[in-house]
A = this chain, B = another copy of it.
Amino acid sequence: MHVTLVHVYVFPQHLQEFIEATGKNHSASIREPGNRRFDVLQDPKDKTHFILYEVYVDPASAAAHKETGHYKEWREVVAPWMAKPREGVGYIGLFPSSSPLS
Protein backbone atom coordinates (compact mmCIF):
# COMPACT_ATOMS: atom_id res chain seq x y z
CA MET A 1 0.00 0.00 0.00
CA HIS A 2 1.12 3.50 -0.84
CA VAL A 3 0.78 5.76 2.21
CA THR A 4 1.30 9.50 2.57
CA LEU A 5 1.01 11.57 5.73
CA VAL A 6 0.45 15.15 4.63
CA HIS A 7 1.14 17.73 7.33
CA VAL A 8 -0.91 20.90 6.93
CA TYR A 9 -0.71 24.10 8.97
CA VAL A 10 -3.68 26.46 8.73
CA PHE A 11 -4.09 30.07 9.83
CA PRO A 12 -6.13 30.01 13.08
CA GLN A 13 -8.88 32.22 11.71
CA HIS A 14 -9.62 29.67 8.95
CA LEU A 15 -9.80 26.43 10.92
CA GLN A 16 -13.52 25.87 10.52
CA GLU A 17 -13.54 26.61 6.81
CA PHE A 18 -10.53 24.33 6.34
CA ILE A 19 -12.27 21.49 8.21
CA GLU A 20 -15.41 21.89 6.09
CA ALA A 21 -13.52 21.96 2.78
CA THR A 22 -11.36 19.01 3.81
CA GLY A 23 -14.40 16.99 4.91
CA LYS A 24 -15.80 17.46 1.42
CA ASN A 25 -12.48 16.31 -0.09
CA HIS A 26 -12.51 13.30 2.26
CA SER A 27 -16.02 12.27 1.16
CA ALA A 28 -15.12 12.42 -2.52
CA SER A 29 -11.65 10.88 -2.16
CA ILE A 30 -12.84 7.73 -0.39
CA ARG A 31 -14.96 7.01 -3.48
CA GLU A 32 -11.89 6.84 -5.74
CA PRO A 33 -11.41 3.21 -6.78
CA GLY A 34 -7.77 2.99 -5.60
CA ASN A 35 -8.33 4.77 -2.30
CA ARG A 36 -8.29 2.86 0.97
CA ARG A 37 -8.00 5.68 3.52
CA PHE A 38 -8.43 9.42 3.47
CA ASP A 39 -8.50 10.21 7.18
CA VAL A 40 -8.25 13.74 8.52
CA LEU A 41 -6.54 14.23 11.89
CA GLN A 42 -6.14 17.31 14.05
CA ASP A 43 -3.34 17.76 16.57
CA PRO A 44 -4.91 18.45 19.98
CA LYS A 45 -1.76 20.28 21.11
CA ASP A 46 -1.75 22.59 18.08
CA LYS A 47 -5.18 22.84 16.50
CA THR A 48 -3.74 24.58 13.44
CA HIS A 49 -1.84 21.37 12.60
CA PHE A 50 -3.65 18.68 10.61
CA ILE A 51 -2.56 15.42 9.08
CA LEU A 52 -4.17 13.93 6.01
CA TYR A 53 -3.63 10.18 6.17
CA GLU A 54 -3.92 9.00 2.58
CA VAL A 55 -3.66 5.35 1.55
CA TYR A 56 -3.84 4.15 -2.03
CA VAL A 57 -3.43 0.66 -3.39
CA ASP A 58 -0.52 1.78 -5.58
CA PRO A 59 1.41 4.90 -6.64
CA ALA A 60 -0.66 5.25 -9.82
CA SER A 61 -3.86 5.56 -7.79
CA ALA A 62 -2.22 8.14 -5.54
CA ALA A 63 -1.16 10.11 -8.63
CA ALA A 64 -4.66 9.82 -10.10
CA HIS A 65 -6.04 11.49 -6.95
CA LYS A 66 -4.17 14.65 -7.88
CA GLU A 67 -5.99 14.74 -11.23
CA THR A 68 -9.48 14.64 -9.72
CA GLY A 69 -11.79 17.61 -9.70
CA HIS A 70 -12.34 17.39 -5.95
CA TYR A 71 -8.61 17.46 -5.22
CA LYS A 72 -8.06 20.43 -7.55
CA GLU A 73 -10.98 22.29 -6.02
CA TRP A 74 -9.76 21.58 -2.47
CA ARG A 75 -6.21 22.70 -3.31
CA GLU A 76 -7.46 25.97 -4.73
CA VAL A 77 -9.96 26.69 -1.95
CA VAL A 78 -7.53 26.03 0.92
CA ALA A 79 -4.48 27.72 -0.64
CA PRO A 80 -5.05 31.12 1.01
CA TRP A 81 -5.53 29.47 4.42
CA MET A 82 -2.16 27.65 4.48
CA ALA A 83 0.21 29.02 7.11
CA LYS A 84 3.09 27.25 5.37
CA PRO A 85 3.59 24.81 2.48
CA ARG A 86 2.14 21.31 2.97
CA GLU A 87 4.63 18.52 3.54
CA GLY A 88 3.90 14.96 2.45
CA VAL A 89 5.85 12.10 4.00
CA GLY A 90 5.69 8.72 2.28
CA TYR A 91 5.44 5.32 3.97
CA ILE A 92 5.14 1.70 2.91
CA GLY A 93 1.79 0.31 4.07
CA LEU A 94 2.53 -3.23 5.32
CA PHE A 95 -0.86 -4.00 6.91
CA PRO A 96 -3.52 -4.09 5.71
CA SER A 97 -1.99 -5.53 2.56
CA SER A 98 -3.16 -4.39 -0.86
CA SER A 99 -5.07 -7.60 -1.50
CA PRO A 100 -8.75 -6.99 -2.30
CA LEU A 101 -9.79 -8.72 0.92
CA SER A 102 -7.70 -6.68 3.33
A70 at interface by CB-CB < 8 Å: no
3 smallest CB-CB distances across A and B, nearest first, come from A41-B91, A40-B95, A26-B95
Interfacial residues of chain A within 5-46, with CB under 8 A of chain B in the complex? 19, 22-23, 26-27, 30, 37-44
Cross-interface CB contact of A94 among B37, B42, B90, B91, cutoff 8 Å: B42
Cross-interface CB contact of A42 among B30, B37, B39, B92, cutoff 8 Å: B92
Cross-interface CB contact of A3 among B23, B26, B27, B41, cutoff 8 Å: B41
Instruction: Quickly give the copy total for this chain.
Output: 2
Contact surface of A with B, Cβ cutoff 8 Å: 3, 19, 22-23, 26-27, 30, 37-44, 50-51, 53, 55, 90-96
Is A51 a contact partner of B94 (Cβ separation < 8 A)? Answer: no
Task: Identify the closest chain B residue to A49 (Cβ).
Answer: B91
Is B43 a contact partner of A91 (Cβ separation < 8 A)? Answer: yes
Is B92 a contact partner of A39 (Cβ separation < 8 A)? Answer: no
Is B95 a contact partner of A44 (Cβ separation < 8 A)? Answer: no
